[in-house]
Structure 1
Amino acid sequence: MSRPQSVTVAAADLGASSGRVMLARVGRDVLELTEVHRFPNEPIQLGGTLHWDVLALYRGVLDGLRAAGRAARAGGTPRQGLDGIGIDSWAVDYGLLDATGALIGNPISYRDRRTEGVMERVHEQLGVARLYTITGLQNLPFNTIYQLAAAHGTPAAAAARRMLLLPDLLAYWLTGRQGTELTNASTTGLLDARSGTWSTELIAALGWDQQLFAPLRRPGDTIGPLTVDVAAHTGLDPTVPVLAVGSHDTASAVVGVPAGDERFAYISCGTWSLVGLELSEPVLTEASRKAGFTNEAGLDGTVRYLRNVMGQWLLQESMRTWQAHGEPADLAALLAEAAAQPGFVSVVDPDDPVFLPPGDMPARVADYCRRIGQPVPASRAAMVRCILESLALAHARAVRQAQDLAGHPVDVVHLVGGGSRNELLCQLTADACGLPVTAGPVEATALGNALVQARALGAITGELRDLRTLLHRHVTPRRYLPRSGQSATAWAGLAARLAG
């Protein structure tokens, strides 16, 4: 059978604040991406617990697939419009299924406080060094392993027969097929980093049933066709396959990095900044563990060696706080004002746990500055400047440490995702890193999702570098060079404030 010249696929990309469905046409000489549906994703506080409204997310995906099918048919494509469907989302959160396959309650958000103190108890039981040697995962209190430990002994956990991460849960509802995609499984703290399989050792040590964890899939695997009900609801051909992609959104975003060779660092920048390198083997040293680096699975056997940095969450939550207080601000205008503010006045550590939960972020930044003897930002523009310089400093620290720990030097930093629109952040990151920053594409995650689908469907062939060659031909990132007036000494002085 001859390969198709191009395919038309739907890439469902779910973020912590919104979801969208993108329509992509991909082939050897074409790469087109269009947003066809966007919907909010707002966690709900109920009974003291922060839940995701997963049924609303599922409805948003269904509505998006219906819109994608209509748009594809209008473009004259075959198969009732779509050739494939792929889903990616943020990591670590999951749903529990009972013996009938029904969902047991709304999934709980990783920002919920139920895991407070749990990580320390698990480390006492298993040993923190042992955990890292097996999983290579950065110790974050919301990792799936700690969420499951927090749920131990609850009625929901007692009734659970299967745990599915959120993209796999939605794929199950679309197809009736259960499984766990590898790149997202690698964020749970329960995957063996060397073998790429569930760690039976850890699962047994924690007293969990091995059957709770679904068989693993890899990006490009076919999950299955749509159920009859889903096909009827969306107007799609029931034979349209749902395909496994890099279902952890960062895995898809790294596929969408338009790198020309291996000497690059990446920052997938949105609510979180995932800062790291693409390697062929995990780094499981004690120095790596102490530095807070994680080893997660990528496409084609690669390792995403990275550090989680809090990202634009501080800015997003500040904007929400001002809005709630009746002081709405135009982000573009505020960024322009922040760019005119003097630099190197105040800085915070964006990874301090105080900044993790939702709430009054400007007040927390002000309290942090007081606590370490810095000036409190006197205006909203000064607050934004403080937040973005802090984030740029955290980016630079992670890039430098990753190179040192992996013995993998880089010549350029690729910043992709929503943060690539933030010109001030991109420039400050170049200044702090002392390296060129190539910003874009904004839609790296959806592009990576679509490229994996297109390869699975035969429209394109080759290895990861071949997918990036196609990206090079169709995207035009913006380049930021370090400014001569932004000395390494000044940035080191900022870092010293936090270390002191």
Structure 2
Amino acid sequence: MARILALDLGAESGRGVVGTLSDNQKLSLEEVHRFPTGGIKLGAHLHWNLPGFLVELQTAIKKATDGGTISSLGIDTWGVDFGLLGPSGELVALPVHYRDPRTVGGEARLYAKVPKAEIFAKVGIQSMALNTLFQVAALTEQSPKLVDASAKLLFMPDLLHYLLTGTAQIEYTIASTSQMLDAKSRKWATETLAPLNLPMHLLGPVVPDGSAYGTELTTGIPVLAPGGHDTACAVAAVPAELGESWAYLSSGTWSLMGLEIPSPILTADAEAANVTNEGGVLGTIRLLKNIGGLWLVQECRRAYARLGNERSYDQLTRLASDAAPLAALIDPDHPSLYAPDDMPKAIRELCAATGQTPPEGVGATIRCCLDSLGLKYRITLQMLERLTGRKITTLHIVGGGSQNRLLNQIAADATGCTVIAGPVEATAIGNLLLQARAQGLITDLAELRSIVRASFPVETYHPDPTMTARFIEAAERSAG
């Protein structure tokens, strides 16, 4: 029996989960600690509360070890964000949140120096203003003294691993989110990015997922990189059988929809579709699209709470299920929805601007969010099929969003695919089992996924042909 600790940080919350892998290769989970994450505004910028994270991680480690021996621990987080270390290993400044506006306008300025197509052909990553590439460019332009004081850049999971162990290194899956890593060589795209005059010297060597970070300083527990990127962990835990007829959707604050492929697709068609070739675990590539996700619902919930109308996610979903389907549709990735002060108002204004009747009331607004995600799933899946020549019949939905049964059914209706929902804790499960693989307890990805199938229940959703026809019509209207 191996007891392993996954430290899993998301944009809304973090948790410590102990996984026990039995001799008959079944995994059980125990959440020992949960804490909020979220950004904090300091001066003009939105930061991550790194000291607070460290305290919470140490609390999780203490609670885990109180229950028995831990054979290893590892951290995963969201992508792109980073911290800077000085020459003596000191933290130079708190990491900046990816939703901070410092990168606004940066894409156009950067692509005027090196064309977008040229960068994509090398790194294969979807162009988004929040990417590390644009954050580093903004840092260089706006805070040159911070750059001068820095000796090393570490992405969030690497930074947290460093604070726990004193070992500073960059893990592959998290590095791949940066839009700065050569998708084929898995080394920094220094030559391609040279005209940008970025501080590439801050980027150290990249180590593979599963690498060791030494031991945790206070307990001596071995620290292993599972796959530093949370989506890499979540996709590893997709309970799929062998074959190419399935897609995944990691559903949470972001919806990350994609296919697992053996090598990156760096064609002009892929660049035009603005897809991303992120590094997966154990040699795979995750061809995917970032979609706005349940961020829309989360921000609506916060807006309603500010007005004194606090509702749970289950309550919001029940109200949405009673609302008329497909009454109004928006693009979940429209710039006006990226970080509005009032999400319901932003949705109403976007509907009005596109010639639609804005949703009235809570249920109609949440239904608009969920239907719009379903439509985006359909459009995205068709694009992925075109790029790869695959025909997708099964969509695996994992992560916290897989608990939303209404959205799962909408996804089935919109795509025409059979939806298999679960496991909910895919990110933590992937983290744990990838550590087990690094310990030599699991041989490969196929065995890892067989353990997931044997250990955790799933729910199946079949498409309603009538609703699928309506989504096909909606997709045709949006394309026209």
Matched residues in 2 for 1:358 and 1:172: separation? Answer: 34
1:9 to 2:4 alignment: yes
1:329 to 2:311 alignment: yes
Contact 1:165 1:184 in 2 (8 A): yes
Range that drifts further, 24-33 or 157-166: 24-33
Contact 1:203 1:209 in 2 (8 A): no
Among 264, 275, 280, the alignment partner of 1:282 is 264
Partner of 1:54: 50
Q: TM-score, normalised by structure 2?
A: 0.97
Partner of 1:175: 165
Partner of 2:21: 26
Residue 300 of structure 1 aligns to a residue whose secondary structure is coil
Matched residues in 2 for 1:381 and 1:498: separation? Answer: 23
Partner of 2:278: 296
Matched residues in 2 for 1:148 and 1:414: separation? Answer: 34
Contact 2:254 2:294 in 1 (8 A): yes
Letter in 1 for 2:104: E
Matched residues in 1 for 2:386 and 2:351: separation? Answer: 30
Among 70, 91, 108, the alignment partner of 1:82 is 70
Matched residues in 2 for 1:487 and 1:203: separation? Answer: 44
Residue 91 of structure 2 aligns to a residue whose secondary structure is coil
1:349 to 2:331 alignment: yes
1:130 to 2:112 alignment: no
Matched residues in 1 for 2:309 and 2:476: separation? Answer: 34
Matched residues in 2 for 1:408 and 1:181: separation? Answer: 30
Deviations 1:411-441 (A, max 9, x none): 2000000110000000000000001000000
Among 425, 441, 450, the alignment partner of 1:469 is 450
Deviations 1:47-94 (A, max 9, x none): 2211111111111111111111112x2xxxxxxx11001100000000
Deviations 1:308-364 (A, max 9, x none): 000000000000110011111232122122112211210100011111115210000
Residue 495 of structure 1 aligns to a residue whose secondary structure is helix
Residue 332 of structure 1 aligns to a residue whose secondary structure is helix
Partner of 1:76: none
> Structure 1: 5+ residue runs without aligned partners?
1-5, 74-80
Among 282, 286, 294, the alignment partner of 1:312 is 294
Residue 112 of structure 2 aligns to a residue whose secondary structure is helix
Contact 1:11 1:21 in 2 (8 A): yes
Contact 2:16 2:61 in 1 (8 A): yes
Among 354, 373, 384, the alignment partner of 1:372 is 354
Partner of 1:36: 32
Q: TM-score, normalised by structure 1?
A: 0.93
Partner of 1:221: 211
Residue 449 of structure 1 aligns to a residue whose secondary structure is helix
1:485 CA drift (Å): 2.2
Partner of 2:255: 273
1:196 CA drift (Å): 1.3
Residue 58 of structure 2 aligns to a residue whose secondary structure is helix
1:65 to 2:53 alignment: no
Letter in 2 for 1:260: E
Matched residues in 2 for 1:32 and 1:59: separation? Answer: 26
Contact 1:217 1:244 in 2 (8 A): no
Partner of 1:360: 342
Partner of 2:472: 492
1:496 CA drift (Å): 4.4
1:497 CA drift (Å): 4.7
Matched residues in 2 for 1:494 and 1:98: separation? Answer: 53
Partner of 2:384: 402
Residue 223 of structure 2 aligns to a residue whose secondary structure is strand
Contact 1:112 1:357 in 2 (8 A): no
1:211 to 2:201 alignment: yes
Partner of 2:99: 111
Matched residues in 2 for 1:499 and 1:359: separation? Answer: 29
Letter in 1 for 2:121: T
Residue 325 of structure 2 aligns to a residue whose secondary structure is coil
Contact 2:26 2:454 in 1 (8 A): no
Matched residues in 2 for 1:316 and 1:494: separation? Answer: 25
1:499 CA drift (Å): 4.2
Contact 1:26 1:450 in 2 (8 A): no
Matched residues in 2 for 1:16 and 1:195: separation? Answer: 30
1:215 CA drift (Å): 1.7
Letter in 2 for 1:10: L
Distance 1:369 1:497, change over 3 A: farther
Number of residue pairs matched? 476
Matched residues in 1 for 2:192 and 2:14: separation? Answer: 33
Equivalent pairs: percent with the same residue?
39
Give the aligned CA root-mean-square deviation in angstroms: 1.3
